[in-house]
Amino acid sequence: MSSTRDIDSLIEMMAKLPGLGPRSARRAVLHLIRKRELKLMPLADLMQNVAATARECTRCGNVGSAEVCDICLAPKRANGMLCVVEDVADLWAMERAGVFKGRYHVLGGNLSALDQVGPEQLRIPHLIARIAEEQITEVILALGTTVDGQTTAHYIADQIENTVRLTSLAQGVPIGGELDYLDEGTITAALNARKEL
């Protein structure tokens, strides 16, 4: 490679990001260098800011720049509903649909015997605590329809049944699909047609 070591390293790091590869990383870096002042500098500054401030919300697991995230802080969203998702990408997908007005609880994964992920590795004990603390009346399980997602949903249902109304996203979630891939309309339909567990 003829480029200097920093440019090479930058391409190498970009190439390892999910969704990129060596070729798209090279094109992205060249594009950024060509538009150094307009694109590369602002992007570098933004990354520094996010690297300095990004953190997990201690309450729900969303990412933001404060100890408690904007959604958890908004009084309007304390409507007694809690939507349980696997990860932050799923929370973002729900927010893009714009139809859910309550709060979230990000598990940080699914239960998995194979990967040795038990309830303690996820935010499940914390979920149970929140239900009491925040006067939750309905928990919506918005988990994937994969085997691990369904195992996780059943485990949570066993823990909290009879304490709250317990629902799951119903219509529209394709078998084996992941929430983050769904369009807004499908998510809206699934939420509106949610059913009792």
58 binds its own copies (CB under 8 A): no
Q: In terms of DSSP H, where are the helices of the chain?
A: 5-15, 22-34, 41-53, 70-73, 88-97, 124-133, 147-160, 184-192
Which of Zn ion, its own copies, none has residue 65 at its interface (CB below 5 to 8 Å by kind)? its own copies
Residue 162: name its binding partner from Zn ion, its own copies, none (Cβ under 5 to 8 Å by kind). Answer: none
Within a 10 A sphere around the Cβ of 191, how many other Cβ atoms? 20
Between CA 65 and CA 79 the distance in angstroms is 24
| String of contacts with its own copies for each residue 98-117, x by CB under 8 A | ------x-------------
Q: Using the rule CB under 8 A, is 31 a contact of its own copies?
A: yes
CA 80 to chain centre: 20
Beta-carbon count within 10 A of 147 CB: 12
* 166 residue type, one letter: L
- Report if residue 36 touches its own copies, rule: CB under 8 A: yes
Question: Should residue 95 be labelled a site residue for its own copies when binding is judged by CB under 8 A?
Answer: yes
33-72 residues in contact with Zn ion (CB under 5 A) are 57, 59-60, 62, 69, 72
Selected from 58, 67, 68, 96, the binder of its own copies by CB under 8 A is 96
Measured CA to CA, the distance from residue 111 to residue 3 in angstroms comes to 45
- Which region, judged by CB under 8 A, interacts with its own copies, from 59-67, 111-119, 120-128, 168-176? 59-67
